[in-house]
Structures are given as structure tokens and as C-alpha cells.
Structure 1
Amino acid sequence: MSPLSQVGLLLINTVGSLILFIVMLRFLLQLVRADFYNPISQFVVKFTNPLLVPLRRVIPGLGGLDISSLVLAYAVQLLTMAAIILVAGYGVPWANLFIWAMVGILSLLLNIYFWGLIVIVIASWIAPNSYNPALILVNQILEPVIRPIRSKMPDLGGLDLSPIVVFLLIQIAEIMVLRPLATMTGVPGGLIFGL
């Protein structure tokens, strides 16, 4: 592969992954009813509105879920993967690509929760009770997942082991669902981060 193709792949992967991450953040922020006055939330809303507002006219929400954000995330993942395959010099297997894009979104979702947990755990040691907008937002996204587990855990005198349980559940979901789905559909390893 030529150096120009490698640069193209790097740029497509970076820009596509960043856009996909921001769109998935928009979905998660609405899902957990996060603080939209947070400066990071404001950036995410302003970045995604030009594409989401017209899409929402066609695709309504469903039971509190922002379906248009999911459709946009799916389209971004699909186009990014297709561009990577084309720049790499292969034909696009469209039938498989539709499934690969879904696997990619699931992988990203698990990665957001995994890395978000790491950030929260480290921040709880370094800067407990911080009012950093990013930490507040990560807490708001993770709390609906951690809270039910925390409520079932025995009281250990201030020691919260619920993030460890969530880490384990994420790993189990990756092993039991994501990897077999990726293997079954033949997802190329370099197309999906984290597999």
C-alpha cells in the first residue's frame, strides 16, 4: 500500500471515528437526560444539529430513544467503513458492510462505557468531587448503568465495587456477543476498534 493510501486511511479513520463518537455521545446524552447546559453537551448539540434536525423530521423518536441519532451513527459508521475499504483498494461488500456497521456501533458503545469507567475510577482517586464538565458528563452517562448494580452490592464501608462489576459485564458482552458476531460476519480486524 502506498504512503498516500496510508495517509488517506489514517485521515478517514480519524475523522470518521471522531464524528461517530460525537453522534453516539448525542444519543447517550439524550438517553440519560444529561445536563445540556454543560459546555461539552453544548458542543455536541451544535456539532450534530445540522444533520440531526432534518433527519428528525423524517425519523421520529421512539419511547424516549433518539432514533435519528442512531440512524446517523449507523450511516457515519457505514460510510467510514466503505471509504476505508475503497481507499485500501478493495471492492465494498455492501451486504456484509451493513452488518459490520452494526457490530462497529456496538463495539463503540462498549468502548465508551469501558473508557468512561476508567476515567471515573481514576478521577475518584485523583480529584474526588470534581466539578470538571467532562467528569460530570461521564458520570451522568455511566450512573444509570452503575446505580442498579451499586444498589444490589453489600455495604463495604465506603468501598464501591460496582465499577468492577460493570467492567466484568462489558468484558462478558464483548466475549459472548461482540466477538462471535464479528467472527460470524467476517468483520476484518482493522475495521472495528477494540475487537
Structure 2
Amino acid sequence: MSALSSSLAFLIQALGGLYIMAVLLRFILQLVRADFYNPVSQAIVKITAPLLNPLRKVIPGVGGMDIASLVLAFALQVGLFYVLFMLKGFALAGIPLPAVLLLSLKELATEVLNIYMFSLIIIAIASWVAPGSYNPGLMLLHQITEPMSSRIRKIIPPMGGLDFSLMVLVLIIITLKNFIAAL
């Protein structure tokens, strides 16, 4: 693989991964019914709208879940794998579709877990550095993680002002990521 194709592969993987993450974030934000008037939410909506809106006309939502965004993220991930394989010199016919589909599912599941894990880490650091401060990004991260952390708080309530739910969730996410990696 030449230096140019290696650099191109890196650029495509980075930009493709960021766009897929934006589509997954849009799904998560709709799932948790986050504030869509938040500037960060508005940016995610504007970034994902060109590809997602036409797909929504064909694929309806089910039970409050935006299935079109999941289908878009999956299709983009499959396409990204094929482009990266072709840049590495593989023939298109030599790339088995079932393997790419499974790799794509695995990658998307890992990406969702990464979104949650890094959200929890950012929330924990922000609570130490600037407790009680308002930031639109932090508010969205709280809205994303609160449905899960509130369930953990029912089992393990805050003790002495310390909330262990974030730590428990990070441990659960790391365990799930290890399980997915072992598949």
C-alpha cells in the first residue's frame, strides 16, 4: 500500500467514521428524546439531514425509534468497509458480503458503546472541573446517559455525595466491548 493510498484510506476512514458517529448520535438523541433546540443537536440534524431525510420517506420509524438512521449508519459502515478494502488492493468480488455485514454490525455496536463511554468520562471530568456549569454539549451528554445512570442509581444510590453510577456504567460498557471484541 503506497503512502498516498494509505493517507487517503486514513482520511476516508476518519471522515466516514465521524459521519457515521453523527448518524448514530442522531439516533440516540431521538431515542432519549433529547432537546433538539440545543445548538449541538441542531448541528447534528443539519449534518445528517441530506442523507437521512430521503431515507425517512421510505423507512418509517417504529415505536419512537428512528429506524432510517440505523439503516443509514449500517449502509454507510458497509460502504466504508468496501472502500477501505478496495484501497488496500482487494478485488470487489473477493470481499465476502456476510463478513462485511458482520464486521459492520460489530463496528456500529462498538461505536455506540464508545459514544456512551466517552460521554460518561466527559461528564465525570466536567463534574470535577466545573460542577454545576451549563454547557450545551454537556447538557446533551447528560440527556444521553441519564436514562441508564438513573437505573443504576436505583440500585446503588449516591453515597456521601459521590455518584458511583457512572463508574458502574463504564465498567459495564468495557465488559460489553470486550465481549464484542471476542466475537
Equivalents in 2 of 1:165, 1:72: separation in Å? Answer: 31
The answer for unaligned runs of 5 or more in structure 2 is none
2:152 is aligned to: 149
**Mapping of 1:1-195 within 5 angstroms?**
1-91=1-91, 92-176=95-179, 178-181=180-183
Q: TM-score, normalised by structure 2?
A: 0.95
- Contact map agreement 2:52 2:72 (CA 8 A) in 1: yes
Residues 96-116 of structure 1: CA distance to partner in whole angstroms, max 9, x if unpaired? 101111101001001111111
Identity of aligned residues (%): 48
Moved segments of 4+, more than 6 Å = none
Task: Give the CA deviation at 1:147.
Answer: 0.7
- Contact map agreement 2:158 2:164 (CA 8 A) in 1: no
Amino acid at match of 1:69: S
Residues 50-93 of structure 1: CA distance to partner in whole angstroms, max 9, x if unpaired? 21111111111111111000000001111111111110112332
Amino acid at match of 2:57: R
After the TM superposition, which of the residue ranges 163-172 and 150-159 deviates more from structure 2? 150-159
> What secondary structure does 1:90 align onto?
coil
Task: Give the CA deviation at 1:155.
Answer: 4.3
- Contact map agreement 2:157 2:163 (CA 8 A) in 1: no
Equivalents in 2 of 1:118, 1:94: separation in Å? Answer: 36
Amino acid at match of 1:114: M
Equivalents in 1 of 2:16, 2:52: separation in Å? Answer: 17
Equivalents in 1 of 2:157, 2:34: separation in Å? Answer: 28
Number of residue-to-residue matches in the alignment: 180
Equivalents in 2 of 1:116, 1:101: separation in Å? Answer: 22
Equivalents in 1 of 2:25, 2:11: separation in Å? Answer: 21
Equivalents in 2 of 1:7, 1:113: separation in Å? Answer: 29
Q: TM-score, normalised by structure 1?
A: 0.89
Equivalents in 2 of 1:158, 1:95: separation in Å? Answer: 49
Equivalents in 1 of 2:17, 2:105: separation in Å? Answer: 14
What RMSD, in angstroms, separates the aligned Cα atoms of the two structures?
A: 1.1
1:185 is aligned to: none
The answer for unaligned runs of 5 or more in structure 1 is 182-195
Task: Give the CA deviation at 1:39.
Answer: 0.5
Equivalents in 2 of 1:2, 1:167: separation in Å? Answer: 39
